[in-house]
Amino acid sequence: MSLEKLPFETPLVDKLSIRIVVDSYYDQFTPKIEHNFVKIEQAKRLPGKQMTTLAGEWGLSLHLVASMAGRNSEYLLDFGYTPEIINRNFDILGINPSKIDGLILSHGHRDHFGGLDGFIKNFRTQMRDDIKLFVGGETIFREKWMGGKNKDPLPWGAIDRSSLTALNVGQVCCEKPHILKNAFTSGFIERSSFETVSGGTLVEEFDDHFSESERQGKLVLDEHPDEHATCYMVQGRGLVVISSCGHAGIINTVKTAMAIANTDKLHAVVGGFHLGLAPNEYIEHTVDELILMNPDVVMPMHCTGVKFIESMRRRMNKALVTTNLGGLFTFGL
């Protein structure tokens, strides 16, 4: 990657807060956790909300709030699997849709875009008029299919682009690194490590007019060219890399982001790392690489898997921060 061609300087922030709006794990009795590099505030019984509760599902959504010199920026990264869950949790957590500067979609899997359309329809009148959705490339709008060996592929849906347009939500394709307010997205994630692209979905190789039955024989493995990470440079701390799923590999993702930011100080790695089904030796190799990168914080979520967390407890326990739905995690204090 040629740093000379980057169209921006890496923005700095004084503080970054990450609120988990959608994930699959919620425990009201999670004990208080303290860490040297991140303030952790668990969502237990929320004041005035004793008659309801947060709800979890397979998927991810994060509310990102960053500040620099007292000026805030807010983004919503991903939207979970269904609109019912994100809308419910968004209300319970008391997030103000009018303060959101933009929407970010990490990649085109339903457990990340499934709640998008219903979320926008529910909150559009409260959002800024010029709200935009930032995606990693045009290929994100292709229909995804689920399939595998000896299995007929099943349609998994696609982002409803016509609905976005009808709701006056602009779409910005960020195939290259792209600056946001107080943040940047990685663009295409370079494949340079030992990692293999994972995820298992299929896509159409090109636009066509075949019927569904005809198309099933013309699908190819999804290489996730449109997956991108959301990143923040915390002043005095280092780079925070948020990987919603890590299909391109969490090490590849971090290396790409560090090259863009032109930094060797990695502060935190956050999100889904897609290691739930990875072999033990693959997980240990991943931890080997993280040890060399020496982040202050590793915060696994969503599809990362318990085997990775167990390895982190053995080998990088000081960096490990486990998460809970609704929790607020603040860097830069």
Q: Give me the residue spans of the domains in the chain.
A: 11-41+59-331
What pLDDT does 213 receive? 46
- pLDDT tens digits for range 255-289: 999 999 999 999 999 999 999 999 999 999 999 99
* Residue ranges of E strands in 235-296: 238-243, 266-272
Cβ neighbour number for residue 205 with a 10 Å cutoff = 11
More confident residue, 48 or 83: 83
* 70 to 15, 282, 311: CA distances (angstroms): 10, 42, 39
% pLDDT > 90, the chain = 83
Class of domain 11-41+59-331: alpha beta
Q: Assign 214 a pLDDT band (cuts: 50, 70, 90).
A: very low
What pLDDT does 148 receive? 62
- Going by their DSSP bridges, the two strands 238-243 and 266-272 should be labelled as parallel
With 80 as the cut, is the pLDDT of residue 24 above it? yes
- pLDDT tens digits for range 242-252: 999 999 999 99
Beta bridge partners of 329: 18, 40
More confident residue, 144 or 204: 144
Considering only 23-37, 92-106, 194-208, which range has the smallest mean pLDDT?
194-208
What pLDDT does 203 receive? 87
What pLDDT does 126 receive? 98
Mean model confidence pLDDT for the chain = 93
Q: Assign 204 a pLDDT band (cuts: 50, 70, 90).
A: confident
What pLDDT does 4 receive? 44
Beta bridge partners of 15: 67
With 60 as the cut, is the pLDDT of residue 1 above it? no
With 60 as the cut, is the pLDDT of residue 92 above it? yes
Q: What is the mean pLDDT of residues 284-310?
A: 98
* 95 to 20, 62, 76: CA distances (angstroms): 11, 11, 10
Q: What is the mean pLDDT of residues 8-25?
A: 96
Beta bridge partners of 41: 328
CB-facing half-sphere around the CA of 93: CA atoms within 13 A? 26
Q: Assign 2 a pLDDT band (cuts: 50, 70, 90).
A: very low
- Which 3 state secondary structure label does DSSP give 225? coil
Q: Assign 3 a pLDDT band (cuts: 50, 70, 90).
A: very low
Considering only 67-76, 144-153, 214-223, 239-248, which range has the smallest mean pLDDT?
214-223
